[in-house]
Chains A and B, each alone.
Chain A
């Protein structure tokens, strides 16, 4: 029982960063109705820039964090300009394919920046590990959870209560009407990319600081985890992304404990498979799709 609770706690903590990755996919999907496959790779490249500074100049971990965030945002904007701006709105498939190509390009860039297979990433935590009764809370993971909770809270405020957030939601609900109401949709899309890159950069930094190492495959890994978490929660739903991320984290933690390390990733794929068979819209997806369809019929 103690193991079970401990695993669940660990899973929720790690899952919080999956949730951030899923939010990145889901916001871009909401605004553009497209999937940005290069999302994980742009986070990876941003983190590589930070790692490069760390390797060559032994900079402080906070400088690494800042560099990671800034470069992830730049990479995100680059992807937007290349794959999503230039290609017309209705050519969703072309966008997705070109984002896949850019993924490869970003990975190649990272390998040229730092050619070895693995590099150390500085660890980061605001508080050390502590015990609460029989349970252990690891410093890095608690930090991750706190960072993720702050990001989700800030995003919620931004999207619900600021005019920029409303403009973003207006574009995702009715891009044409938004344009006629004077909203510069191209600008909003660019801002959406910068925003999700920032969120993804935080997630990437928190994960890498916990793992204390980075490889070029981090991009692939982040894209997979984010996409699976988004699909679990329901595409285009922000609460769904959070829920999907946490669920994925918990299931993985249990699989790792009870079945062994090699089953951790497999359990994620099995979970996605089961979800697609039993409830293809995701946990919150179907309800939201139903409600939205109803809303759009009426409006």
Chain B
């Protein structure tokens, strides 16, 4: 589904990402972890086209993505959420979802007029379902900026789902969440996968990563240092060293998971 080959990004002399090889299979929940500054976010940004790679290729269901703009990648089926929430604050909750419906399926299903000037009944029903799933059913007409933090996170997740991705990149979706919210999030991630979406999860919160993922790759200093199931990765010496060698909070997080 997603194939990265020798993917590299250099900022001046800094190798933020250095020859990453990765392959994510269709229908899997794949974890990407590593200490701060290890290149996880860079990897996500390269996959969805924020900046051009210095070397290597991004291949998505057989198609080379290099050189494609972010909106083209979304239309190919790659959606994302953001580490710092980026909603459209002065649009309502419902409008946030509507404006994100840009998948080829939605484009094909709607005529020009209904696509640009009014939502069809089917669109309304589908978006209402997404809002229900996100526990935001009663907040559809609220401005996004008026939502509480947890609600904004759920809305961002729902907005990414509204784009009908085949691959969803989650960039630290659990940051700032309570234990209960993290548990809910884990359920939502599994639910989305069960509906056929492949998931690449970048996360620091180990209980989430270890709980939901099937395969994990570990990055350090821009290179992949380990790969395997959650259990294998936790026992890996290089991984333990990488986490212990960095700040206390990171090693704490790793220890918690192990």
Binding site for B on A (CB under 8 A): 161-164, 166-167, 169-170, 173-174, 176-185, 292, 294-296, 298-299
Contacts and interface: CB of A to CB of B under 8 A. Distances in A.
Contact of A292 (B48, B89, B91): B89
Interface of B: 48, 50, 69-71, 74-75, 79-80, 82, 85-91, 95, 98-100, 102-103, 115-119, 143-145, 149, 152, 159, 163
A185 B71 contact: yes
A180 B70 CA distance: 5
Contact of A179 (B69, B115, B117, B143): B69
B89 A173 contact: yes
Nearest to A185: B71
- List of 8 A-B pairs having minimum Cβ-Cβ separation, nearest first: A182-B102, A295-B145, A182-B74, A177-B86, A295-B89, A181-B100, A179-B70, A299-B89
Nearest to A160: B95
Contacts of A173: 88-91
Contacts, number: 93
A181 B89 contact: no
A182 B90 contact: no
A267 to B, nearest CB: 34
A166 B118 CA distance: 11
B117 to A, nearest CB: 5
Contacts of B99: 163, 166-167, 170, 178, 181, 183
Given A162-B116, A167-B99, A174-B89, 16 more contacts: A162-B118, A163-B116, A170-B88, A170-B99, A176-B50, A179-B69, A180-B48, A180-B70, A181-B99, A181-B163, A182-B102, A185-B71, A298-B145, A299-B85, A299-B87, A299-B144
A299 B119 CA distance: 25
| Secondary structure type dominating chain A contacts | helix
Contacts of B149: 298
B86 A176 contact: yes
Given A162-B116, A295-B90, A177 B98 contact: no
Nearest to B80: A180
Question: Of B70, B80, B102, which is in contact with the most chain A CB atoms at under 10 Å from its CB?
Answer: B70
B215 to A, nearest CB: 24
Contacts of B95: 166
Contacts of B71: 179-185
Contacts of B86: 174, 176-177, 299
A242 to B, nearest CB: 18
Contacts of A298: 89, 145, 149, 152
Nearest to B104: A182
Contact of A296 (B70, B89, B159): B89
A181 B157 CA distance: 12
A298 B155 CA distance: 14
Contacts of B98: 163, 166
B248 to A, nearest CB: 29
A182 to B, nearest CB: 3
A158 B89 CA distance: 19
A173 B91 CA distance: 9
Question: Of A174, A183, A298, which is in contact with the most chain B CB atoms at under 10 Å from its CB?
Answer: A298
A238 B116 CA distance: 21
B117 A162 contact: yes
